C-alpha cells in the first residue's frame, strides 16, 4: 500500500464536453425510454418468438390469477411460474392492487395509457438516436474512440486480461498513472455496448414499426419475425439496465464524488506517488 506521505493529487482532464453532454442526455433518454417502454409492454405483458403471437405459449408473461380464493401476481419464464405479487403481474397499494405487468412506479406515465407511453417512447427514441449519432461522429473525428476506447496491444494479452479480471473480482482498480486510461475490461464493455447492444436495440425497435417494415422489408426476416424482434428489444433493455447498475456500482466503489466531478466538469483527481528521491 502506498505511503500517504509520498502520494500527491494530480488534477487531470478526463472527459471532453462532447462526452459529458452526450452522457447526460443518454441518462435522461434511457430512463424515459425504459419507463415508457414498460408502459407499452404492459398493454400486452407477454413475449413470443417468431412472426405472430402464440398466445397459448409465451416464453415470458406477467399477469394475475385466482389461487385459493385470492388474486396473486405471477410471472412465467420458460414454463416456470413464480409468485410475484406486489411487483409483477399484480401490484399497487394493499387493498387497491390491480392486474398489470410492471408496477405503476416503474412506468411512464404511471397510469394506464398506451398512447401516451408511445408518445414519450418515440420522442425520446429520436433524442437517443440523434444523441448517439452526435456522440459517434464527434468522437470519431476527435480521435476519442481510437485513442481512449480501442484496447492497446499490451492490454489484450491473456495474462493482462486475467489479471484485470482477478483485480475486478477483488474490487481493486487502477491507481495513479494507470487510472489515466480505461482498463481493457472497460474498453471492451463500452465498445460492445456502443457498437453492439445499442444498435441492436435501435434496429429491433424499428422492426416493430409497420411504417419502417413497409419501407425496409429486410428488417423483419433479419430478426426472425416481429415478435422475435420484440423479445430481443426487451432483452436488450434488460441488458442495458444491467450495464447501468454495474456501471453505477463501480462508480461508487472507485470514488463517487471524483467520478461524478469528472463527468460534470471533465476534471479527475489522480493519486500519484512522488519519487522518493
At 239-277, the pLDDT tens digits run: 999 999 999 999 998 889 999 999 999 998 887 766 554
pLDDT of residue 152: 87
Residue 236 has φ and ψ, to the nearest 5°, of -60, -40
Find the angle CA(270)-CA(268)-CA(254) to the nearest 5 degrees.
70
pLDDT of residue 181: 80
- The pLDDT-based confidence of 176 (bands split at 50, 70, 90) is confident
- The pLDDT-based confidence of 174 (bands split at 50, 70, 90) is confident
Mean pLDDT of 88-107: 92
The residue among 2 and 106 whose pLDDT is bigger is 106
Percent of the chain with pLDDT over 70: 96
**For the chain, what is the mean pLDDT?**
90
pLDDT of residue 168: 86
- The closest of 84, 33, 61, 101 to 237, measured between CA atoms, is 33
CA distance 125 to 110: 19
> For the whole model, what pTM was predicted?
0.90
pLDDT of residue 56: 84
The residue among 69 and 46 whose pLDDT is bigger is 46
- The closest of 104, 91, 37 to 64, measured between CA atoms, is 91
Sorted by where each begins, the domain ranges of the chain are 4-53+103-273, 54-101
Dump pLDDT digits (tens) for 5-32. 566 888 888 889 999 999 999 999 999 9
Cell triple for 101: 405487468
Percent of the chain with pLDDT over 90: 68
Largest CA distance in the chain: 79
Dump pLDDT digits (tens) for 182-222. 889 999 999 999 999 999 999 999 999 988 988 999 999 99
Q: Are 21 and 139 in contact (CB under 8 A)?
A: no
| CATH code for the structural domain at 4-53+103-273 | 1.20.950.20
For residue 275, the 8-state DSSP code is P
pLDDT of residue 171: 84
Mean pLDDT of 51-76: 92
CA distance 75 to 83: 7
pLDDT of residue 170: 87
CA distance 25 to 210: 28
User: Is pLDDT of 1 > 60?
Assistant: no
Mean pLDDT of 142-165: 90
- The closest of 177, 186, 170, 173 to 254, measured between CA atoms, is 173
Q: Which segment, 36-40, 96-100, 266-270, is predicted with the most confidence on average?
A: 36-40
pLDDT of residue 275: 57
Amino acid at each position: 500500500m502506498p505511503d500517504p506521505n509520498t502520494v500527491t493529487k494530480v488534477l487531470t482532464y478526463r472527459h471532453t464536453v462532447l462526452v459529458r453532454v452526450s452522457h447526460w442526455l443518454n441518462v435522461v433518454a434511457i430512463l424515459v425510454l425504459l419507463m415508457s417502454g414498460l408502459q407499452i409492454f404492459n398493454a400486452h405483458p407477454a413475449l413470443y418468438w417468431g412472426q405472430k403471437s402464440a398466445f397459448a405459449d409465451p416464453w415470458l408473461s406477467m399477469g394475475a390469477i385466482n389461487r385459493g380464493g385470492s388474486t396473486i401476481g405471477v410471472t412465467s419464464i420458460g414454463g416456470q411460474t413464480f409468485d410475484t405479487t406486489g411487483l409483477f403481474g399484480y401490484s399497487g397499494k394493499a387493498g387497491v392492487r390491480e392486474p398489470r405487468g410492471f408496477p405503476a412506479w416503474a412506468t411512464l406515465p404511471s397510469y394506464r395509457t398506451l398512447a401516451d407511453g408511445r408518445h414519450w417512447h418515440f420522442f425520446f427514441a429520436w433524442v437517443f438516436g440523434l444523441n448517439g449519432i452526435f456522440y459517434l461522429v464527434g468522437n470519431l473525428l476527435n480521435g476519442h474512440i481510437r485513442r481512449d476506447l480501442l484496447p492497446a496491444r499490451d492490454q489484450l494479452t491473456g495474462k493482462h486480461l486475467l489479471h484485470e479480471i482477478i483485480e475486478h473480482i477483488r474490487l481493486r482498480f487502477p491507481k495513479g498513472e494507470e487510472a489515466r486510461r480505461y482498463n481493457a475490461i472497460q474498453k471492451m464493455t463500452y465498445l460492445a455496448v456502443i457498437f453492439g447492444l445499442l444498435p441492436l436495440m435501435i434496429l429491433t425497435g424499428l422492426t416493430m414499426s409497420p411504417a419502417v417494415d413497409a419501407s425496409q422489408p429486410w428488417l423483419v426476416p433479419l430478426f426472425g419475425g416481429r415478435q422475435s424482434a420484440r423479445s430481443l428489444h426487451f432483452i436488450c433493455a434488460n441488458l442495458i439496465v444491467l450495464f447501468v447498475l454495474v456501471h453505477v456500482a463501480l462508480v461508487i466503489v472507485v470514488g463517487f464524488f471524483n467520478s461524478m466531478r469528472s463527468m460534470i466538469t471533465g476534471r479527475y483527481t489522480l493519486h500519484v506517488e512522488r519519487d522518493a528521491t
